[in-house]
Structure formats: structure tokens, C-alpha cells
Structure 1
Amino acid sequence: MSALTFGAGIWAFGQIVDRYATDGYGPSRTMSEMLDLAASVDGLECLDINVPFADGVSKTSELAAALAERGLRARAITPHLYTREFVKGAFTNPDPAVRERAVERVHEAVAVARELGAGYVKFWPGQDGFDMPGQADYARLWDLTVSAIRELASAHPDVQFAIEYKAKEPRVRITLSDAARTLLAIEEAGQPNVGIVMDFGHSLLAGETPAEAVQLVHRRGRLVSVELNDNWRGWDDDLPVASVHLFETIEYLLAVRRIGWSAPVLLDQFPFREDPVRALSQSIATIRMLEQVCDRVDLDELRDAQERQDALRAQALLWSALGAARETAGAAGEATGTARETAGAAGEATGTGTARET
């Protein structure tokens, strides 16, 4: 069994806003409150943190101390390149002054990443794209995107950068929309310190097979981070892990094992209506359970079925592994129940049973 470790985007613990509930889902929270919630998720070790910081923290040194106090660390730093000032694009904005502000925002994120010891700085250019036919000079958007990536990566050769691609939202069409297109942009930028954040849900949204895409990115030597969540493919719902795509998640975890992934797996979730601690705790518990499923997959049999493209046999092997994992979990539950009954009987015999029940 692989020993995966886990992180999450800090935004999962903040107030979430959409175009309908403009007053937000849940209460507004300070950085300290968000960190407290993150620290209460069993198994969560690290965070992807936005720059500028959430309210309550103004200095990187303050954030470093707050993380250390809670036993957390920074895995990634994500500069806000998609807020109101970048509504017409960050790297591709028609206004050169706005483009320069986007670049400066990344320089700021790099400084934070260095001070916190984060593993990478993430580009999520969600406003770089277009909305309607005829609106954009596509070649110009591409040139501006690649040029900005090249400029920033070459300015900080000691820093790892990673692009998180996405098909849409907030722009109707985002320039870096899928794995292949993003690999092309990275290749054209020509910098060795730029890679990809492989977000499971974004891959679904792009019409990809996530297990295939993560191996493609790894094959090109550009895999920087692995993220898990789920959606219905029509929108980036950021649901708990395997809440919709069970088999695709198992296949993704098998692919992550195959490439020897050892860095943290990050949870990119937006629990609009759910308690964030419960939602992320459930995702970690689900991944751990599915890791047991992966342990029970007969890989030799699976490879044989794949060599013959025997889809039904491959599916049967996955179902069998799921069934075995459920039986093991059930046996463990029964053993726990028996132990509790035994302890209860012993407690009654010693006169302490009622107190424990109370």
C-alpha cells in the first residue's frame, strides 16, 4: 500500500461566494480561523495558500508562525490572477499596465514561497481567455501567455512553477484549457522549471480521462502536483473525492501509483453547503479506503486484460477489488463491535458499564 499524504487549498475553509449567494455560503473567516479548521482535518499536512493573504495576516513571517503552531506547512503559493482587476485577463489583458501588475503579483508570490519553503508557485490564469466568437485574436492571446510564462520562469530559475489548466470559468473559454495544450505552451516557453498541476476535476471538465492525462504529463517530465476532487463533467463542482466518478478515481489512484508519486495529494474542494472539515475529512477517508481497493487489484491480471482490451474482465477485476475491500472493512467493523461488546460486558461486571454509557 502506498502511503499518500494530503494537503488542500486554503480556500476550502473560507467563505465561498457565487453569482447567486453574493452574501456568501457560510460565515466570513479570517486566516487564523481558516488555519484552525485546516488543522482539525485528520491527515491534512499542508496547504496551497493564496497571495494576497486572507484577512488577519499581513506578513509572511506571521503566516509562517501560524502554520508552525498548527503543525501545517505551505505546499504551494497561488497568486490571485483572476480577481476583478484582471477581469479582461491577467497575462493577456489588453492593458499593458494590468499585464505588468499580474507579473508583479507573481513576483510577490515567489517571495512568499521562498520564505515559507513552498514547493511551487501556481499559475491559474482563469481570466486569460475569451467569451464570444470574434472577440479575441487567438494567436495574440497565446503569444502573451507563453511570453509571460517564459519571462517569470526565467526570472526565477530556482523556483518551480506549475500551471493548473481548466476549460472554463470564470472565462467562458480559457486559453490553457487541457493537458495537451498546456504542455505545448510549456514546451514553447522553453523553461525547465515550469510544469503542470494535474487537477482530477479539471481533467474531467476538459473531456479527458484523468488517469491517461496524468501519465501523459508525467511522461513529458512536467508533473508538479496531483489534485483530487470530483464533478459531473459539466462544471467544476469541486465535490468530495469519488462522490460521482468512483471507477475513474480508482483508475487515477492506480496511475499515480504507477508513476511512483510520493508528494502530497492536494484536495481542491469548494464545500458550498457542507461543513469544510467534514467534507475534506471524508475525502481523505475515501482515498485511504480506495488505496485499500488498489492494494487488492490483481495488477498482472489487469495488465493481461488491458493487453487483450478485454473491457469486461478489467471491470470485473475492479469490482472484485471493491468487494474485497468492503468485506475487509466489514470484518474490521465486526471485530470493533465485538471488542466494544466485550468491553461493555467487562464494564458491567466491574460496575462501570453504566458510567461509560452515560
Structure 2
Amino acid sequence: MLKMAIITGFLSKTKDRFHEYNAPLSLDEKFALMAGIDGYDGVEIVYPYEANDAAVTRQLLDKHGLTVAAVNVNVKAEPEFRNGGLTSHLPEVREKAVCFIKQAKDFAQAVGADKVTCCPLGDGYEFAFQYDYAKTWRYLVEAFGAAGDYKRELPLFIEYKPSETRGRCFVDSASKALCLLNDIGNTDMGVTLDFGHSVYGNENPAEALVMLAESPYPYYIHVNDNDGRWDWDYFCGTKHFLEYVEFIYYLKRYGYTGYLTSDTSPTRWDIQGTFEANSRITNRIWRLLDEVDKGRLAQFMSGADYLKTWKFIENNIFGLK
């Protein structure tokens, strides 16, 4: 069975602009709920707002038999970060953002995590002539570089996203995330690839994955789906089934052994049922790809006649025989 995890903030109350969904739960209650969800043993915890006491968190993890897939550090909610934290014009604000990431590494080490992931959603822009792009890129390189250099044994992963909370995020694609890491020059840092972010950023997630896998940097995976227009965090395969199969195909091909973490929001749907759908479909695709003659599929992909490839997909992926 695949190693699968859940971002634990989605196990409790969530909200959009108009509605609230599900009941608020304590961290203990979230872990208890997750322990009953089939297919999962990992958690991604949001620091510092969801959990910040390492001793208590470690005790609760042991109580419920859970492992930390990653610590997700939030550098967007503080008032100082409203106009960007890592790219603020104020050096003291940038330093506070770096400090948040360093503290997240301390927390991660104390709870037994092996990585910290950060999605710099507050760092971006809305309008023409709003930022000096060269200067803000240097800010990103310096800030992430300083944070990544701290406790290098705990890798810092940068998660990219096209937009939110800013109209356009500075780190909005896999290629730009790689450019950032190349400029930093720390191979103990990596990229968090969120399937949904890739889709609505007009990437092909499988191609983005290959780009990361062929780079010197490690990668970490979030799974979900959306309609390509916004990051709806639907459960897997509901909008881009074949693209998700291709994504899993390349995870297998590159020997990915890390966690696949559900960044999925159960709004109108049952929490347990939503996450079990993610685990069920992902594991079934993984097993199906074990049964499919991958050598023949690779041979078709190397040819020029996609109709032969499509017929193979009809028969072996869709089961339309």
C-alpha cells in the first residue's frame, strides 16, 4: 500500500467566502478521526497555527499511531506578512518570515518529521509596476536560502502555486521553483508538487513531475483535483482522471517512495469518505499500473502513432474491451 497522509487542517472546520463546513476539532480529535480513515498513517501539520507545542504534538502522534509526513509552515497569516513576508520591502519583516521557517524546522525536528514545506502565498503581486521583479527575486533567494541553510538535515521544500492570496504568486510554476533552487544552490532543498496547483497553473502535472525528478532536488507530493480554473481541492481523479493516471505512472517510473499527501477539502462531502476516495483510487491506479505491460506502453509512447497508444489505454486503463 502507498504511503499516504492528510493535511490535518482539512479534518476539521473549513470555510469559503460564504459558508462554513464541518465542526471544529482539537488536534487530538483530528488525529483520532484520522486514525480511523482507511489507507493513511501520515499527517502534515500546519505550524504554528494548528500545532506549536512539540511535546504535546509528539504525545498525540504516539497516542494515535501516526507519523509526520511534513510540517507545513505558514508565512502568510501574520499582519506583517499582508504585503508579503519573504519579499517584504522591510528587512525586519523578511527576517521574521525566515525566523518562522527556522522555528518550523525546530518543531519538525522535535516531533520527528523529516521535512518542512512552505507555500509562500503572500508573496506576489496584483498590478503592473507594483514590484521591482529583480529585487524581489533576490529577496526570495536570500530569504529561502537562509531558511534552507538552517538545519540542512531537515530539507525545506518550496510549494508553488499560481495565485492566492496574491493575484499572482512569485513562485507560480515548477520551472520557476527550480530556477529559485538553482539560484540558491542548496541541494538539501526541494519542491512540493501539488497536482491541483499544477493543473490550474496550466501545467501538465506529469511533465512537471518529470522535470523535478530529473533535477538534483528532491520532491514531495500533494494530491487532489480541480477544474483547471481554480484550486478547488476536489478528491483525486474526479476531473483529470487520465492525467492523474499518467502522474502516478511517472511516480512509479521514478521510484517515488515518499508520502502522497491529500491536500483535499471535504466541504459538502463526508470527511472520512472523501479521504478514503483519494486513497482508494490512488492505490487502485498504482496496482493497475503493476498489472499493465509498462514495457509495451513505453514502446507505444516512443512511437509516432498515438492511435495505438489510445487503444492500449482503452483496453488496459479504462477496461473497455
TM-score range normalised by the length of the shorter chain: over 0.9
SS in 2 for 1:274: coil
After superposition, the CA RMSD in angstroms is 1.6
Alignment of 1:238 onto 2:224:
no
Select the residue among 146, 151, 155 that pairs with 1:156: 151
Query: Counterpart in 2 of 1:18?
Result: 16
C-alpha distance in 2 between matches for 1:155 and 1:287:
35
C-alpha distance in 1 between matches for 2:305 and 2:111:
49
With the length of structure 1 as denominator, give the TM-score of the two structures. Answer: 0.85
C-alpha distance in 1 between matches for 2:268 and 2:89:
37
CA contact (8 A) 1:214 1:223 kept: no
CA contact (8 A) 1:89 1:127 kept: yes
CA contact (8 A) 1:7 1:46 kept: yes
Q: How far apart are residue 309 of structure 1 and its match?
A: 3.0
Query: Counterpart in 1 of 2:92?
Result: 97
Alignment of 1:74-223 (within 5 A): 74-85=68-79, 86-223=81-218
Greater share of helix: 1
Query: Counterpart in 1 of 2:42?
Result: 46
Letter in 2 for 1:32: D
SS in 2 for 1:141: helix
Q: How far apart are residue 58 of structure 1 and its match?
A: 5.4
Q: How far apart are residue 306 of structure 1 and its match?
A: 1.3
SS in 1 for 2:71: strand
CA contact (8 A) 1:127 1:174 kept: yes
Q: How many aligned residue pairs are there?
A: 320
Structure 1 residue runs of 5 or longer lacking an equivalent are 328-358
C-alpha distance in 2 between matches for 1:124 and 1:91:
11
SS in 2 for 1:201: helix
SS in 1 for 2:5: strand
User: Identity over the aligned pairs, expressed in percent?
Assistant: 25
C-alpha distance in 1 between matches for 2:65 and 2:74:
25
Query: Counterpart in 1 of 2:25?
Result: 29
Query: Counterpart in 1 of 2:304?
Result: 309
With the length of structure 2 as denominator, give the TM-score of the two structures. Answer: 0.95
Letter in 2 for 1:49: I
Q: How far apart are residue 19 of structure 1 and its match?
A: 2.4
C-alpha distance in 1 between matches for 2:43 and 2:201:
25
CA contact (8 A) 1:201 1:230 kept: yes
CA contact (8 A) 1:195 1:223 kept: yes
Query: Counterpart in 2 of 1:335?
Result: none
Q: How far apart are residue 301 of structure 1 and its match?
A: 2.0
C-alpha distance in 1 between matches for 2:5 and 2:83:
31
CA contact (8 A) 2:196 2:233 kept: yes
Structure 2 residue runs of 5 or longer lacking an equivalent are none
Alignment of 1:335-350 (within 5 A): none
Q: Which moves more between the two structures, 86-95 or 233-242?
A: 86-95
Query: Counterpart in 2 of 1:339?
Result: none
Alignment of 1:276 onto 2:271:
yes
Letter in 2 for 1:5: K
SS in 1 for 2:300: helix
Q: How far apart are residue 84 of structure 1 and its match?
A: 4.4
Alignment of 1:259-270 (within 5 A): 259-270=254-265
SS in 2 for 1:20: coil
How far does the alpha carbon of each residue in 1:149-169 deviate from its partner, in whole angstroms, 9 at most, with x for none? 111122322221101111111
Q: How far apart are residue 210 of structure 1 and its match?
A: 0.9
CA contact (8 A) 2:187 2:216 kept: no
Query: Counterpart in 1 of 2:6?
Result: 8
C-alpha distance in 2 between matches for 1:105 and 1:282:
34
